[in-house]
């Protein structure tokens, strides 16, 4: 009987392979979605190699958070559209079944990121930026370098993106994209858990009073929230609503204030 049972177990393992992991997979996604409540999944399809998830979010960084839940996850599509004056992002993730032996380690390493909308174009081409002291590139070439770093950021390589954004600002301080790069430096520091440094970078962006000031305000609030300073977080988000009431991020700020006050 024991031999027969062992043979049947081997047969089941051969049939299921790496696919009998849905309790872990669904738990990881449902746990992340609880902290990204402005995001939802619309469709899930699977095959012998892995599965594909289609979802929607009003906060683009949620796509990054979801893409970091499991190894061998690729963001294959992100599309922006407007629905009743609300910006919504449709995304598709392509994921290979993880090694079942890694689940205990993965569940300890899952990091969920708060959600804040980032409106940046993702360009998948990659080029290596040469180290130069004299700017000889055309504006189009500099712009391409900036968007290459943005694509690195959205791929989840935060350390690499931080270093390259910092080098970009150093190399092209007068370029029109340097301001956006400074903002994304703040985001990188936030995602790396360096909240005081992130706050300093984001405060500089906000003080510049440019198009990224609303983004900087909501991120400043996120930094305070991470440091358990709810009063300062609400203050930043209230300032965002008062100064930029028609900005899409004002809706997210209202939601965050209501959530932190338990409404």
For the whole model, what pTM was predicted? Answer: 0.53
Structure confidence at residue 124 (pLDDT): 44
Mean pLDDT by groups of 10 residues along the chain of 263 residues: 78 63 81 79 86 88 84 84 75 85 56 47 46 64 92 91 94 91 95 94 94 94 94 94 92 90 73
- E-strand stretches of the chain: 39-46, 50-57, 73-83, 86-96
Tokens encoding 231: 């009063």
Three-class SS of residue 194? coil
What's the pLDDT at 12? 64
Report the alpha-carbon distance of residue 34 to residue 49 in Å, rounded: 27
What is the distance between the alpha carbons of residues 11 and 68, in angstroms, rounded to a whole number?
33
Question: Given this model, what pLDDT does residue 102 score?
Answer: 61
Domain ranges of the chain: 15-109, 139-260
Q: What is the pLDDT of residue 61?
A: 81
Residue whose token pair is 């449902």: 30
CATH topology of domain 139-260: 1.25.40
Pick the closest to residue 214 from 238, 196, 181, 188 (CA basis).
238
pLDDT for 120: 46
d(CA 171, CA 107): 40
The pLDDT of residue 14 is 63
Q: How far is CA 57 from CA 81, 102, 159, 207, 241, in A?
A: 11, 29, 25, 29, 21
Q: Which CATH class name applies to 15-109?
A: alpha beta
What DSSP state is assigned to residue 176? T
CB hemisphere CA count around 28 (13 angstroms): 21
Of 89, 153, 81, 88, the C-alpha closest to 124 is 153
Task: Supply the pLDDT for residue 199.
Answer: 94
Residue located via tokens 């929607």: 56
Structural contact between residues 118 and 215, judged by C-beta atoms closer than 8 angstroms: yes
Q: Give the burial class of 143: count Cβ atoms within 10 A of its Cβ; 0-12 exposed, 13-18 middle, 19 or more buried.
A: middle
Q: What is the pLDDT of residue 133?
A: 47
Helix, coil or strand: residue 10: helix
Quote the pLDDT of residue 67. Answer: 85
Q: Which of 84, 86, 87, 53 is nearest to 70 (CA)?
A: 53
Task: Judge contact between 24 and 51, C-beta under 8 A.
Answer: no
């Amino acid at each position: 009987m024991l031999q027969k049972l062992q043979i049947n177990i081997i047969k089941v393992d051969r049939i299921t392979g790496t696919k009998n992991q849905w309790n872990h997979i669904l738990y990881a996604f449902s746990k992340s979605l609880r902290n990204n409540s402005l995001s939802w999944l619309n469709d899930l399809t699977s095959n012998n190699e892995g599965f594909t998830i289609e979802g929607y979010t009003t906060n683009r960084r949620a796509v990054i958070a979801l893409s970091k839940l499991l190894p061998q996850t690729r963001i294959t599509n992100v599309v922006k559209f407007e629905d009743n004056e609300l910006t919504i992002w449709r995304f598709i993730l392509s994921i290979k079944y993880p090694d079942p032996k890694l689940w205990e380690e993965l569940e300890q390493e899952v990091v969920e990121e708060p959600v804040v909308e980032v409106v940046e174009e993702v360009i998948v081409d990659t080029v290596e930026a040469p180290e130069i002291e004299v700017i000889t590139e055309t504006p189009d070439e500099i712009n391409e370098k900036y968007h290459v770093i943005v694509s690195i950021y959205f791929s989840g390589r935060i350390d690499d993106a931080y270093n390259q954004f910092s080098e970009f600002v150093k190399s092209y301080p007068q370029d029109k994209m340097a301001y956006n790069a400074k903002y994304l430096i703040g985001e990188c520091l936030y995602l790396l858990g360096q909240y005081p440094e992130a706050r300093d970078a984001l405060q500089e962006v906000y003080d510049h009073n440019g198009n990224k000031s609303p983004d900087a305000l909501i991120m400043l609030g996120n930094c305070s929230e991470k440091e358990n300073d709810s009063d300062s977080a609400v203050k930043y988000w209230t300032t965002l609503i008062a100064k930029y009431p028609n900005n899409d991020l004002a809706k997210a700020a209202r939601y965050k204030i209501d959530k932190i006050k338990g409404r």
